[in-house]
Amino acid sequence: MRIHQALLGAAMITAAGCSVTDNYDRTQNPFLEPSVRIEMPEKEVTSKPTLPSPSMHSTNPIPGTATIRPAAAPPALVSSEVPSLTNTFDQMIAEANRLGAAGDVLGKAQLLEQAGYTGSGKAFYLLARMQQDGSLPKSDDQMLKFLALAHEAGEVEATRVLGLLYLRGLSVPKDIAYGRGLLDQAAATSSRAALEYGQLLSGQSMPDLKDVNSSIPFLRFAYQSGERGAFDALLYALEVAGASEQALILRAQGEPDVQLSPTIEERDSGSVTTNALTADDVFNHGQAVLIRRVPDPEPEFTGYCWIAAADALGHPGASKELDFIQGVRAISDRRSPGRLDACIQKIAAQYSQH
């Protein structure tokens, strides 16, 4: 079933979401915009599924709201109106997040849907993530619906997620060619998508697309944009591709001198003024523990705990990371049943309150 077929039978969000704890507002994954772009060859996409057109959108409202209908194609906006429209969307999303933080998850979803049908792809993407992370009752049909609408509205991270879903056959039929086409598109402007796509092309994550030469420009883009992990990924790809001279140059250059997000320790020490700790920070701390960048007497246990907590807080990449280290849970549950779950709950609860 293609995305548009799923959308035709999808009901809108049910009122059952009211009682679900919202763990999403203060843990949004940043929508990364690269500072450097590179030209990358286009790939031919075959068997392209038809994404839903505006005429296919469901007009069934979320319970308790007025009917929200897809807006007709708006007239061309003059440039002076665009910032005002963007500010309106930002204000609606900020108000939706405020409602979610106050415990009104359904109110948040209603306002995000209104913003989405008014023209905000980001709002649709946030709705898809609420479906995925459990803030609302999980529904693959609803998640795919909102991802498709966000993709149509130009939200690059929705395009990235759809590409990964098709490549892995998660919630949709597996379609390597179409998934690659979506990631080609997303990776042209998203450094995060470029890193993930480059890792897939070079066999550093699954499925192995076995195209290491094509991975290099994507990984170089991610590296130049300061993506965490891009240096090691690019170095690996260069060495596998036999580009030893380029690999030597990269080693000499080292990691780019860019301003990365604050560490957990910096936030806890008060050296960074902030009101929120993001799921990205929790995830990055877990990775740092796993690779021994942050000393810990039980790096595997602690790293798994933090990454699983990031997953509970809504980090989109944490679940995939947990798949690679699932043996840690098996060992921990065998030795000390319940200890790992208690750790995860403690970390997630602590940082969902920040």
pLDDT in tens, 43-73: 343 344 444 333 333 333 333 333 323 333 3
Return the pLDDT at 167.
Answer: 95
Residue that wins the pLDDT comparison between 186 and 26: 186
Query: Does 144 reside within a domain?
Result: yes
Asked whether residue 156 falls in the same domain as residue 280, the answer is: no
How many C-beta neighbours within 10 Å does residue 104 have?
A: 16
Q: Are 228 and 255 in contact (CB under 8 A)?
A: no
Return the pLDDT at 257.
Answer: 53
Return the pLDDT at 36.
Answer: 34
pLDDT in tens, 239-285: 999 998 999 988 888 776 544 444 444 434 333 333 345 788 888 88
In which region does residue 230 sit, left (phi positive, over 0), alpha (psi from -120 to 50) or beta (all else)?
A: alpha
d(CA 195, CA 190): 9
Asked whether residue 109 falls in the same domain as residue 9, the answer is: yes
Percent of the chain with pLDDT over 70: 69
Return the pLDDT at 84.
Answer: 57
Residue that wins the pLDDT comparison between 138 and 295: 138
Residue that wins the pLDDT comparison between 50 and 176: 176
Which residue among 154, 189, 224 closes a domain? 189
Query: Does 235 reside within a domain?
Result: no
pLDDT over 90 (residue 174): yes
Banded model confidence at residue 163, pLDDT cuts 50, 70, 90: very high
Which residues constitute the domain of residue 305? 264-352
Query: Does 195 reside within a domain?
Result: no
Q: Are 222 and 233 in contact (CB under 8 A)?
A: yes
pLDDT over 70 (residue 100): yes
d(CA 267, CA 280): 13
- Would the pTM of this model clear 0.85, i.e. be above it? no
In which region does residue 64 sit, left (phi positive, over 0), alpha (psi from -120 to 50) or beta (all else)?
A: left
Asked whether residue 184 falls in the same domain as residue 273, the answer is: no
- Total domains in the fold of the chain: 2
Which residue among 136, 163, 189 closes a domain? 189
Residue that wins the pLDDT comparison between 320 and 73: 320
Burial of 78 (0-12, 13-18, 19+ CB in 10 A): exposed
pLDDT over 70 (residue 296): yes
Asked whether residue 32 falls in the same domain as residue 144, the answer is: yes
Which CATH number fits the domain that encloses residue 178? 1.25.40
Percent of the chain with pLDDT over 90: 36
